[in-house]
A and B are shown apart, each in its own frame.
Chain A
Amino acid sequence: KNQVEQSPQSLIILEGKNCTLQCNYTVSPFSNLRWYKQDTGRGPVSLTIMTFSENTKSNGRYTATLDADTKQSSLHITASQLSDSASYICVVSDQAGTALIFGKGTTLSVSS
């Protein structure tokens, strides 16, 4: 069964600190993996898209990694800001691109 598991479920960090969110998947065949940021009461916004051939992709202070062999991805946030407080969702697409499997998300709270 295709699944996407995210950890931790929630995380609280101090402003300025770094953090790493994890995403493990069992989707096969695999096409791409996406990280989204969802602010409360808003729609998700794309952060990165990675295909199986990509290991690392950055978007400002966000860096995503992908290990297609172990089927793991991480999202690293550097020098966190209060505005980083949100839910981060990992979404994996199968090779046909017809199925999008959503993780349950990690809720990040950045405090001052």
Chain B
Amino acid sequence: GAVVSQHPSRVICKSGTSVKIECRSLDFQATTMFWYRQFPKQSLMLMATSNEGSKATYEQGVEKDKFLINHASLTLSTLTVTSAHPEDSSFYICSARDRGQGLSPLHFGNGTRLTVT
């Protein structure tokens, strides 16, 4: 079945540094990918919608200059957390929809646990 690979699964970084998270669709093309943030015992919060070849659409309250999204190809989207701070520590998940299937399920990556010290 369709697989979305997210890397890294865990990352620890120092405050002030930047972290890049990759989301790849392994066996299908995804014109649209989604980035979420999830706090403990909470549901997923959509941060932004990433469209291949164009600018991402950010949800209200999400700083586009802090969370940089690049969707350079039909199989890869990246989320860069710039100048990370401890409050950015969270679980980040991406998802992608197979453009070849009209009512296809969203395929989720396994998430990235970011810890900022």
Do the two chains bind?
Answer: yes
Query: Which A positions have Cβ atoms within 8 angstroms of B?
Result: 32, 34, 36, 41-46, 49, 51, 87, 89, 91, 100, 102-105, 107
19 pairs across A/B with beta carbons < 8 Å? A32-B103, A34-B105, A41-B91, A42-B110, A43-B6, A43-B93, A43-B95, A43-B108, A43-B109, A43-B110, A44-B95, A46-B106, A46-B107, A100-B106, A102-B43, A102-B44, A102-B45, A104-B42, A107-B41
The residue from B41, B103, B108 contacting A44, defined by CB atoms under 8 A apart: B108
Number of chain B interface residues as a range? 20 to 34
B-side binding surface: helix, strand, loop or mixed? strand
**B46-A102 in contact (CB<8A):** yes
| B111 contacts across to A, CB distance below 8 A | 41-43
What is the distance, in angstroms, from A44's C-beta to the closest C-beta of chain B? 5
Per-position 1/0 for B27-65, Cβ under 8 A of A: 000000010000001111110000000000000000000
CB distance from B39 to the nearest CB of A (A): 11
Number of A-B contacts (CB under 8 A): 45
Q: With contacts A43-B109, A100-B34 known, what are 19 further pairs, Cβ within 8 A?
A: A34-B105, A42-B110, A42-B111, A43-B108, A43-B111, A44-B44, A44-B93, A45-B108, A46-B105, A46-B106, A46-B107, A89-B43, A89-B44, A100-B46, A102-B44, A102-B45, A102-B46, A103-B43, A104-B42
What is the chain A residue whose CB lies nearest that of B93?
A43
Nearest-Cβ distance from residue B41 to partner chain A, whole angstroms: 7
